[in-house]
């Protein structure tokens, strides 16, 4: 079954930071988990490269907007590699394939009567060349915050999208699909605002030129937001039915899971579905809006200078490794409705209590005993697993249910639970004491075989989170990673006699 996972496309005017890293890492864990189940996953990320900010930044640097976009997009792509992310494509909104299709879609909206030419009137700052909302203008006492000169009343012709005409259709859609927006708190925000009523939204601008020209009226540029949203379907070639891209990728729509930050919820939960309705395209499956990282209890901001930026993140890679970073992002991050605090000490404690003490130590003690008592050879289990096959099957079921819901914490806990049970089992049965009593050798064999096999299965479930370290575990257990999940988590994958290497996956580190 196809599945399509997307991040927002990142604005090239920014430098990569924890926000980008987080969303993309969450998507990567999810994509790897689905692939592990044998699903046909397409994972997309990319960059949003148009707009007045890019135009201005480029002018300030004395380069063309395209040159600036090229440079920053290359940086984002480089970073994806450093993070080991497994996106299947990287879309840029300045690529011809995207621009052409956006024009096609906008033309269709125009032909369908969903886009019309209208007049916008508002408070205009001549120095800044921008409009302010009534509320904002009032706050500013109708004066420019930069020059102090009075704002003027100005009008502008723009093309508008008839968002208002989709009110009923959207309400019906939300009623019929209560899980469309996740988490529930975010859905309620959307519903609340929907109740206030919808106004039409402009989809073009005329005060800058760095954008996709509006088809048939080229002094208008397609507004960046509209341009950006379409990336989700231009990457699949839906704007060129029958084209090469569509032939290969059209199957991924509408199996779309859009993972976004909460600041862009409105565009994804309301405007985007309405655009799709206007184009008579099916709705994506889900919008998941996560919250933000804060730093040491403080909101991250440029003025505070407390952004967890790329050099900081690379410092964590150097000390703890890439997998530890993924683990912290996936299990401690703000995937639900509230923000998460990023603290160095918390990172360290999570590393030690989860990865060193459990994921590292449990396989270590099991493989060490098998090496000590059986020269590393996987013992035969005369009990055929005892209670363990059922325990593992239950954990796999729990893991699958969690992955379905993008509940990364739940999926991680399902796997960790098995390892904690193995630890408890060793404590209870004391194989290290049985090893001293030759009369109980058969019992000892069963216990250690059951532990090793459960460790192997837990390791499979942890692969999406800890791909490099779990590859290391596979090597120690003489496993390969080819088979589909159902086969790999079936009891009995470790044949008796297989030589298991002692392994120590996560070194203990000083804080």
User: Quick one: 246 or 434, whose CB is closer to RNA?
Assistant: 434
Which tokens in the block code for residue 162? 């008839």
User: Quick one: 35 or 290, whose CB is closer to RNA?
Assistant: 290
The distance of Cα 202 from the centroid of its chain, to the nearest Å, equals 29
User: Quick one: 246 or 415, whose CB is closer to RNA?
Assistant: 415
Taking a C-beta distance cutoff of 8 angstroms, is the pair 260, 291 a contact?
no
C-alpha to C-alpha distance for 305 and 181, rounded to whole angstroms: 33
Pairing of strands 256-261, 201-202: unpaired
Which tokens in the block code for residue 222? 């397609």
Burial 316-344 (b: 16+ CB within 10 A, else e): beeebbbbbbbbbbbbbbbbbbeebebee
Pairing of strands 40-48, 89-92: parallel
User: Quick one: 10 or 320, whose CB is closer to RNA?
Assistant: 10
C-alpha to C-alpha distance for 92 and 47, rounded to whole angstroms: 5
Nearest to 269 by CA among 178, 402, 335, 159: 178
Least distance in angstroms from the C-beta of 32 to RNA: 22
Least distance in angstroms from the C-beta of 244 to RNA: 27
SS (H, E, C) 177-228: CCCCEECHHHHHHHHHHHHCCCCCEECEECCCCCCCECCCCCCCEECHHHHH
User: Quick one: 39 or 339, whose CB is closer to RNA?
Assistant: 339
Least distance in angstroms from the C-beta of 511 to RNA: 9
User: Quick one: 105 or 225, whose CB is closer to RNA?
Assistant: 225
Least distance in angstroms from the C-beta of 201 to RNA: 5
Pairing of strands 130-132, 40-48: unpaired
Distances (CA, A) of 29 to 15, 45, 292: 23, 14, 18
User: Quick one: 35 or 187, whose CB is closer to RNA?
Assistant: 187
Least distance in angstroms from the C-beta of 417 to RNA: 11
Least distance in angstroms from the C-beta of 119 to RNA: 11
C-alpha to C-alpha distance for 334 and 201, rounded to whole angstroms: 30
473 three-class SS? helix
Burial 486-502 (b: 16+ CB within 10 A, else e): eebbebebbeeeeebeb
């Amino acid at each position: 079954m196809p599945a399509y996972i997307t991040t927002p496309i990142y604005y090239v005017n920014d430098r990569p930071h924890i926000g980008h890293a987080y969303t993309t890492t969450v998507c990567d864990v999810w994509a790897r988990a689905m692939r592990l189940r044998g699903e046909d996953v397409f994972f997309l990320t990319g960059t949003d490269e148009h707009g007045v900010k890019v135009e201005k930044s480029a002018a300030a640097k004395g380069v063309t907007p395209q040159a600036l976009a090229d440079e920053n997009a290359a940086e984002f792509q480089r970073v994806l590699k450093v993070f080991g992310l497994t996106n299947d494509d990287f879309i840029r909104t300045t690529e011809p394939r995207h621009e052409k299709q956006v024009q096609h879609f906008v033309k269709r909206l125009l032909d369908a009567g969903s886009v019309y030419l209208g007049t916008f009137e508002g408070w205009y700052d001549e120095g800044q060349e921008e409009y302010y909302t009534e509320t904002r203008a009032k706050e500013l006492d109708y004066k420019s915050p930069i020059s102090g000169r009075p704002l003027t009343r100005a009008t502008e012709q723009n093309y508008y999208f008839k968002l208002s005409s989709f009110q009923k259709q959207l309400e019906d859609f939300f009623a019929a699909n209560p899980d469309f927006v996740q988490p529930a708190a975010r859905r309620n925000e959307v519903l609340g605002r929907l109740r206030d009523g919808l106004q039409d939204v402009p989809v073009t601008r005329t005060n800058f030129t760095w954008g996709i020209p509006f088809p048939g009226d080229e002094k208008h540029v397609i507004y960046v937001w509209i341009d950006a949203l379409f990336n989700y379907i231009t990457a699949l070639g839906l704007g060129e039915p029958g084209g090469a891209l569509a032939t290969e990728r059209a199957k991924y729509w509408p199996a779309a899971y859009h993972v976004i930050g909460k600041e862009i919820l409105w565009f994804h939960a309301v405007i985007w579905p309405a655009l799709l309705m206007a184009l008579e395209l099916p709705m994506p499956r889900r919008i998941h809006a996560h919250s933000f990282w804060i730093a040491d209890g403080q909101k991250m901001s440029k003025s505070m200078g407390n952004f967890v930026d790329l050099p900081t993140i690379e410092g964590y890679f150097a000390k703890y490794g890439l997998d530890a970073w993924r683990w912290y992002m996936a299990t401690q991050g703000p995937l639900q409705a509230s923000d998460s605090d990023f603290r160095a000490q918390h990172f360290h404690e999570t590393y030690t209590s989860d990865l060193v003490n459990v994921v590292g130590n449990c396989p270590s003690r099991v493989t060490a005993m098998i090496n000590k008592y059986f020269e590393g050879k996987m013992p035969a289990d005369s009990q055929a697993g005892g209670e363990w096959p059922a325990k593992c099957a239950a954990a796999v079921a729990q893991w699958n249910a969690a992955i379905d819901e993008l509940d990364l914490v739940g999926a991680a806990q399902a796997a960790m639970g098995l390892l904690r049970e193995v630890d408890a089992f060793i404590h209870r049965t004391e194989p290290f004491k049985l090893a001293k009593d030759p009369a109980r050798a058969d019992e000892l064999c069963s216990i250690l075989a059951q532990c090793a096999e459960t460790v192997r299965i837990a390791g499979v479930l942890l692969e999406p989170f800890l791909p490099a370290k779990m590859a290391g575990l596979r090597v120690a257990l003489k496993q390969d990673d080819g088979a589909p999940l159902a086969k790999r988590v079936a009891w009995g994958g470790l044949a008796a006699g297989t030589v298991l290497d002692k392994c120590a996956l996560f070194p203990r580190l000083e804080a």
